[in-house]
Amino acid sequence: MDEFEEILQDFLIEAFELIEQLDQDLVELETRPDDLDLLNRIFRVAHTIKGASSFLNFDVLTHLTHHMENLLNMARHGDLVIDANVMDVILESIDLMKALLVRIRDHGEDSGLDVSGCVARLDVVANGGEAEAVEVVVAPVVQAPIVVKKSDEEPDYANMSDAEVEAEIERLLAQKQAEAIAKRLGNEEPAKAAEIEPDYANMSDAEVEAEIQRLLFEKQAQDTARRAQKTENIAPQEPALISAPIVIPAPVSQPKTEVAPIAKATPAASTTPTTPRRSESKEDSDSKGGGVEQTIRVDVKRLDHLMNLIGELVLGKNRLIKINDDVEERYEGEAFLEELNQVVSIVSLVTTDLQIAVMKTRMLPIGKVFNKFPRMIRDLSRELNKKIELEIAGEDTELDKSIVEEIGDPLVHIIRNSCDHGIEVGDVRMASGKSEVGTIQLKAYHEGNHIVIQIIDDGKGLDADMLKQKSIEKGIITEKEADAMSEKEAFGLIFRPGFSTAAQVTSVSGRGVGMDVVKTNIEKLNGMIDIDSEVGRGTSMKLKIPLTLAIIQALLVGVQEEYYAIPLASVLETVRISKDEIYTVENRSVMRLRDEVLSLVHIGDIFEVERVFDSSEHAYVVVLGLAESKIGLIVDTLIGQEEIVIKSLGEYLKGIEGIAGATIRGDGGVTLIVDVAALMQMAKSVKSTIGSESGEAKKIGVKNSASDYCVMIVDDSKTDRTIMRKSLEPLGVTLVEAVDGVEALNILKQGDHYFDAMLIDIEMPRMDGYTLALEIKKYNKYKNLPLIAVTSRAGKADRMRGVESGMVEYITKPYSPEYLMNVVKRNIKFNEGL
Amino acid sequence: MSEKLQQIINRQNQALVGDDQKVDEVIQLVGFIVGEEEFSIPILSIQEIIKPIGWTRVPQIPSYILGVFNLRGSVIPLIDLRARFGLPLQKHTDETRFIVMKNGDDVAGFVIDRLTEAIRMPKRDIGPAPDTISESETMIDGVGKQADRIVTILKVHKLLERNF
């Protein structure tokens, strides 16, 4: 049974692959009905599926494909002209075939679907093509006559003696050989072979054996003959292909075709005649394809696992780079640095290459999705009575498998929409001076780290005023909102749930669901939608989608002491503005960005960040775009761009609004990733605090007595600390001591005290003064905390380093107590507040 | 001689079996202090115990969840047990530890004030949770009595359960 399962799986995979190409070919066939290559290709699909399904005992599928094959074979022989009506029936049967295959995949059986209606139609069309023929069975097709003619011509094996059977076999052999020779001369269909098919049902076991022997022999003879013929034919045209590829397919196809009759000799009467041609067609396609295909099938799960591992590697690489930077700073000029540098750059280079390589294995051409559209357009244009042409470009553009899966639905909706609402009826088009045939262009191309899919129609275009009017009618927006809308924003209305311009619901559109689906799916992929339209000229819709989902480029931003990662795919630009460029309109903060009004939201308001210190006069605005909407996100600092790996926050914290996940940074810390779609939703309800910067910071600054001032002394020598303490005690300020940089930093982080100044020794174990100063300045909160170096290092270089690391004063030991006191007093603005 | 040997082996086997039975009845717990009280959890539900490391605040969650931290590449939530139990917050000290607990696939780190010891406690010394606490709501699995003290045993799955 397992073996059967395996064969079944192979069959299904093969069948679905064949079908994918089929739709495209069929639509092409309608425009070029005389293309024999195309016809042959389509015929082969029906044929292959029929052969395999009869072997696997899928009778319904066999029945259907058999009749399809009949019809196609007639067309192939020029007995039938394929027009739109015939095509409709063929397409219908193909759909049915697909449905059957899906059923087999899901349920393991092909019953439950009625094919008789379709089969009847297939037959009628076949007859229509053949004027004199009344019944299908006598149509001049290979398979059909078997059943009928068999009884006339076939000798009755059951009544023969052994000797007679022997003689009969001899006769058949001779006939076969003659045929084989005939075949070598002209590439004739083995129609005759089929006609003399013996009646297997009436045979005894021995007879069946003999018959099988006969068929085997016959096949071998044919194969040899054909191979010889092939080599002859191909040699002059394609000399490069002679050597290996041509010979290889033969042994492959041979066992396949032989297995079929042996395993099911008795009931397989209908398969047997088809097998010779099947092997031939296989050989055809194989030798045409230029040899053995260089691919293997891999389970997607394995690729996903590989991708996850690469993700970890990327994080490790980021970490390594960060450590390398730190080491470089610390041991400047040391010889081993060079080596370390080399290793780090090689590792990061290889990691990047590896990542790209693995990503590529997951890439599929977008043609996989595009393939179904020619068929769709054809059906729609017939249904809507419009003439529509589809132009496809860039179907080779590749993108990640998961995205290919997600992009199909949105495209279907957009294209349906273009057909239904965009393209006008022929007369209207003619009246407005356009060609009668409407055109929809479907293009895909790369743009940086994105793939752009563009759908352009030359229909009537979007009318911004009409869209607004409809939206108001449907209660989607208020009149006031409508007035404030730009043209582009108005175009965006078509994505609102419940919006529809169609006067009535048709089978194609009008329910107001489709475009909402488009928006949701594109947002899920972190993509953007851009609509351009001109009334009377047409509409262009641009979908911009990131190439992959797991490892992304992100912009890191800081707010207070927190960092957030924003997917770079959603970042349009960043601008630095001064606070007075922010206006308030109806309780919302907005700014003017070129000719647009951009609504603003502070990242701190979204993520409830405590506003401890007053930010500077300037603010950074990250302009975010998603699907068709835009928003400006105010942040305190821009850190930079980094490659991040998305990790989930786990079961316990899942579903937090505005957070898409987390990533681990080079320093080992966790940074949260902003969910831009959710953020835009949240921005609508968030209370704005921009402009009303917290009063808290000022409160902390209020000093009522000398002991409210707090100064930290950082020195590893007890004596030095005591000297400083003694010098400052007369002031009455609170003094806190730390023995080295690490401890000082910890005290600072604990936040028990609000320090007004720090006295820092340079030479200290664990963490020296410079490093401490650099660390402190990393915190926004301490940007303005005066750091005073107290040291015996008096060199100019030392002073320079002090300044570089953020020290404001530089006191050299020894010093007088008064001098120290004055410096401190000046820096903490002592008494000014009292 | 061989009879004697057999007897010895038998005796040894019996002794071993007896040991096994004893082990079965003993639960191994790890005790720790939060606030004034000593709590404990079964040692098998502990993935590891680490010294405090940096964490990242996560918005829009209850205040007893401090945020998330990086445990060798995994992003894990960090929960402050003081806050969880409604006690006033305290600065981390040298004795503060993160206990990383797991229950199936659920993993989270918990901040505790300090560790006490690993406790081996016979099952018969463990009583049920006080009646005043409703069965479904309580985080207390039982109360262990020892000569000089009482140890509250917590339900790890309850601690790891998302309740917001």
Name the more confident of A831 and A521: A521
pLDDT tens digits, A216-269: 666 666 666 665 555 445 444 444 433 333 333 334 334 443 333 433 333 433
Give the pairing of strands A562-567 and A670-674: parallel
At A322, list the tokens: 């960060």
Of A266-280, A332-346, A375-389, B28-42, least confident by mean pLDDT is A266-280
| Burial class for A712, CB neighbours closer than 10 Å (0-12, 13-18, 19+) | buried
Inter-chain residue contact B73 with A315, CB threshold 8 Å: yes
What confidence score (pLDDT) does residue B110 get? 93
B contacts of A648 (beta carbons < 8 Å): 75
Q: Residue A284: is its pLDDT beyond 50?
A: no
**Can the peptide bond before residue A567 be classed as cis, meaning omega within 30 degrees of 0?**
no
Decide if A647 touches B, using CB distance below 8 A.
yes
List, as ranges, residues 117-146 from B with C-beta within 8 Å of A. Answer: none
Q: Could you give the dihedral angle defined by the CA atoms of residues A346, A347, A351 and A357, in that order, rounded to the nearest 10 degrees?
A: 40
A contacts of B73 (beta carbons < 8 Å): 312, 315, 664
What confidence score (pLDDT) does residue A178 get? 62
The answer to whether residue A382 is domain-embedded is no
CATH of the domain at A344: 1.10.287
pLDDT-derived band at A659, boundaries 50, 70, 90: confident
What's the start-to-end Cα distance of chain B, in Å? 71
Amino acid at A144: A
Closest by Cβ to B70, choosing from A606, A649, A664: A664
Q: Residue A644: is its pLDDT beyond 60?
A: yes
At A250, list the tokens: 């033969």
Q: Contact, B156 vs B101, CB < 8 A?
A: yes
Inter-chain residue contact B77 with A658, CB threshold 8 Å: no
Q: Residue A343: is its pLDDT beyond 60?
A: yes
Q: Which three-class secondary structure state does DSSP give residue A388? A: strand
Q: Contact, A769 vs A763, CB < 8 A?
A: yes
Measure the CA–CA gap between A780 and A561, rounded to whole angstroms: 6
Q: Contact, A252 vs A246, CB < 8 A?
A: no
Inter-chain residue contact B61 with A656, CB threshold 8 Å: yes
List, as ranges, residues 10-49 from B with C-beta within 8 Å of A. Answer: none
The answer to whether residue A371 is domain-embedded is no
pLDDT tens digits, A131-179: 333 333 333 333 433 333 444 444 455 555 566 656 666 666 666 666 6
The answer to whether residue A388 is domain-embedded is no
CATH of the domain at A716: 3.40.50.2300
Q: Which three-class secondary structure state does DSSP give residue A9? A: helix
Q: Do A278 and A305 sit in the same domain of this protein?
A: no
Q: Do A344 and A422 sit in the same domain of this protein?
A: no
The answer to whether residue A134 is domain-embedded is yes
**Minimal CA separation from A562 to chain B, in Å:** 8
**Minimal CA separation from A766 to chain B, in Å:** 18
Decide if B51 touches A, using CB distance below 8 A.
no
Name the more confident of A452 and A10: A452
User: Of all residues in chain A, what percent carry a pLDDT higher than 70?
Assistant: 73
Q: Contact, A615 vs A693, CB < 8 A?
A: yes
List, as ranges, residues 608-637 from A with C-beta within 8 Å of B. Answer: 608-609
The answer to whether residue A232 is domain-embedded is yes
- The H-or-E segment that residue A412 falls in is helix A401-417
Name the H helices within A648-740: 676-685, 696-701, 718-728
Average pLDDT of chain A?
Answer: 74
Q: Do A679 and A739 sit in the same domain of this protein?
A: no
Strand order in the sheet with A618-626: A571-578, A618-626, A629-635, A596-602, A588-593, A583-585
Inter-chain residue contact A652 with B105, CB threshold 8 Å: no
Q: Which one of A309, A651, A674 would you mutate to disrupt binding with B, by most B Cβ within 10 Å of its Cβ?
A: A651
Sign of the dihedral through C-alpha A587, A591, A595, A598: negative
Q: Do A185 and A264 sit in the same domain of this protein?
A: yes
At B73, list the tokens: 């590449």
φ/ψ (deg, to 5) at A772:
-60, -45
What confidence score (pLDDT) does residue A339 get? 87
Q: Mention every residue, 6+ apart, whose C-beta is less than 8 A from residue A526.
A: A545, A546, A549, A552, A567, A569, A570, A626, A676
Measure the CA–CA gap between A347 and A785, rounded to whole angstroms: 40
Q: Could you give the dihedral angle defined by the CA atoms of residues A799, A805, A806 and A807, in that order, rounded to the nearest 10 degrees?
A: -40
Inter-chain residue contact A658 with B59, CB threshold 8 Å: yes
B contacts of A657 (beta carbons < 8 Å): 60
What confidence score (pLDDT) does residue A555 get? 92
Measure the CA–CA gap between A357 and A362, rounded to whole angstroms: 9
Q: Contact, A225 vs A294, CB < 8 A?
A: no
**Minimal CA separation from A343 to chain B, in Å:** 22
Q: Do A186 and A239 sit in the same domain of this protein?
A: yes
Q: Which one of B70, B90, B106 would you mutate to disrupt binding with A, by most A Cβ within 10 Å of its Cβ?
A: B70
User: Of all residues in chain A, what percent carry a pLDDT higher than 90?
Assistant: 2
Q: Do A719 and A690 sit in the same domain of this protein?
A: no
Name the more confident of A35 and A183: A35
Q: Mention every residue, 6+ apart, whose C-beta is less than 8 A from residue A93.
A: A64, A67, A68, A118, A119, A121, A122
Q: Contact, A562 vs A612, CB < 8 A?
A: no
Inter-chain residue contact A656 with B73, CB threshold 8 Å: no
> Is A417 annotated as catalytic?
yes
> Is A69 annotated as catalytic?
yes
**Minimal CA separation from B32 to chain A, in Å:** 23
Measure the CA–CA gap between A698 and A680, rounded to whole angstroms: 32
Q: Which of A63, A66, A67, A69 is catalytic?
A: A69
Count of domains for chain A: 6
Q: Do A176 and A124 sit in the same domain of this protein?
A: no
DSSP secondary structure, A568-622, as one string? GGGEEEEEEEEGGG-EEETTEEEEEETTEEEEEEEHHHHTT----S---SEEEEE
CATH superfamily ID and name for B26-159: CheA-289, Domain 4 (2.40.50.180)
At B10, list the tokens: 């038998």
Q: Do A472 and A601 sit in the same domain of this protein?
A: no
Measure the CA–CA gap between A825 and A727, rounded to whole angstroms: 12
Q: Contact, A750 vs A706, CB < 8 A?
A: no
Cβ atoms within 10 A of the Cβ of A416, count?
18
Inter-chain residue contact B68 with A648, CB threshold 8 Å: no
What confidence score (pLDDT) does residue B79 get? 92
pLDDT tens digits, A686-715: 665 554 444 344 444 456 677 778 888 888
Measure the CA–CA gap between A196 and A172, rounded to whole angstroms: 9
Measure the CA–CA gap between A587 and A683, rounded to whole angstroms: 12
pTM of the complete model beyond 0.90: no
What confidence score (pLDDT) does residue A564 get? 92
φ/ψ (deg, to 5) at A305:
-60, -45
Q: Which of A47, A63, A66, A602 is catalytic?
A: A47
Q: Do A179 and A207 sit in the same domain of this protein?
A: yes
At A410, list the tokens: 């949105």
**Minimal CA separation from B144 to chain A, in Å:** 29
Decide if B154 touches A, using CB distance below 8 A.
no
pLDDT tens digits, B99-135: 999 888 889 999 999 998 898 888 888 888 776 666 6
Q: Do A240 and A205 sit in the same domain of this protein?
A: yes
**Minimal CA separation from B4 to chain A, in Å:** 59
Q: Do A423 and A517 sit in the same domain of this protein?
A: yes
B contacts of A671 (beta carbons < 8 Å): 56
In a 13 Å sphere around the CA of B85, the CA atoms on its Cβ side amount to 20
Average pLDDT over residues A92-109: 80
pLDDT tens digits, A527-571: 788 888 888 888 888 888 877 666 788 899 988 888 999 988 888
ipTM of this complex prediction, to 2 decimal places? 0.77
What confidence score (pLDDT) does residue B99 get? 93
Decide if A671 touches B, using CB distance below 8 A.
yes
> Is A107 annotated as catalytic?
no
pLDDT tens digits, A716-759: 888 888 888 888 888 888 888 888 888 888 888 777 777 888 88
Decide if A205 touches B, using CB distance below 8 A.
no
Domain membership of residue A748 as a residue range: 702-828
Decide if A656 touches B, using CB distance below 8 A.
yes
pLDDT tens digits, A344-403: 999 989 988 888 888 788 888 888 888 888 888 888 888 888 888 888 888 888 888 888
At A10, list the tokens: 């192979």
CATH of the domain at A564: 2.40.50.180
φ/ψ (deg, to 5) at A568:
-60, -25
pLDDT-derived band at A215, boundaries 50, 70, 90: low
* Residue at a domain's end among A141, A167, A182: A141
Measure the CA–CA gap between A684 and A681, rounded to whole angstroms: 6
Measure the CA–CA gap between A756 and A796, rounded to whole angstroms: 27
φ/ψ (deg, to 5) at A824:
-65, -45
Name the more confident of A185 and A281: A185
B contacts of A649 (beta carbons < 8 Å): 58, 68, 75, 77
Q: Which one of B51, B55, B60 would you mutate to disrupt binding with A, by most A Cβ within 10 Å of its Cβ?
A: B60
Q: Residue A419: is its pLDDT beyond 80?
A: yes
Q: Which three-class secondary structure state does DSSP give residue B141? A: strand
Measure the CA–CA gap between A216 and A663, rounded to whole angstroms: 64
Measure the CA–CA gap between B122 and B129, rounded to whole angstroms: 17
What confidence score (pLDDT) does residue B68 get? 92
* Residue at a domain's end among A666, A695, A724: A695
Inter-chain residue contact A670 with B77, CB threshold 8 Å: no
Q: Residue A330: is its pLDDT beyond 80?
A: yes
φ/ψ (deg, to 5) at A313:
-65, -40
User: Of all residues in chain B, what percent carry a pLDDT higher than 70?
Assistant: 88
The answer to whether residue A375 is domain-embedded is no
- The DSSP secondary-structure symbol of A421 reads I
Among chain B residues, the shortest Cα distance to A314 is held by B73
Q: Residue A210: is its pLDDT beyond 60?
A: yes
Decide if B9 touches A, using CB distance below 8 A.
no
Decide if B104 touches A, using CB distance below 8 A.
no
At A112, list the tokens: 């439950």
B contacts of A656 (beta carbons < 8 Å): 58-61
Closest by Cβ to A662, choosing from B54, B75, B105: B75
Q: Which of A70, A127, A417, A526 is catalytic?
A: A417
Amino acid at A381: S
Highest mean pLDDT among A27-36, A151-160, A176-185: A27-36
Closest by Cβ to B108, choosing from A609, A652, A752: A652
Sign of the dihedral through C-alpha A673, A607, A622, A698: negative
At A752, list the tokens: 């028990």
CATH of the domain at A475: 3.30.565.10
Q: Do A446 and A565 sit in the same domain of this protein?
A: no
Decide if A825 touches B, using CB distance below 8 A.
no
In a 13 Å sphere around the CA of A105, the CA atoms on its Cβ side amount to 13
Q: Residue A190: is its pLDDT beyond 50?
A: no
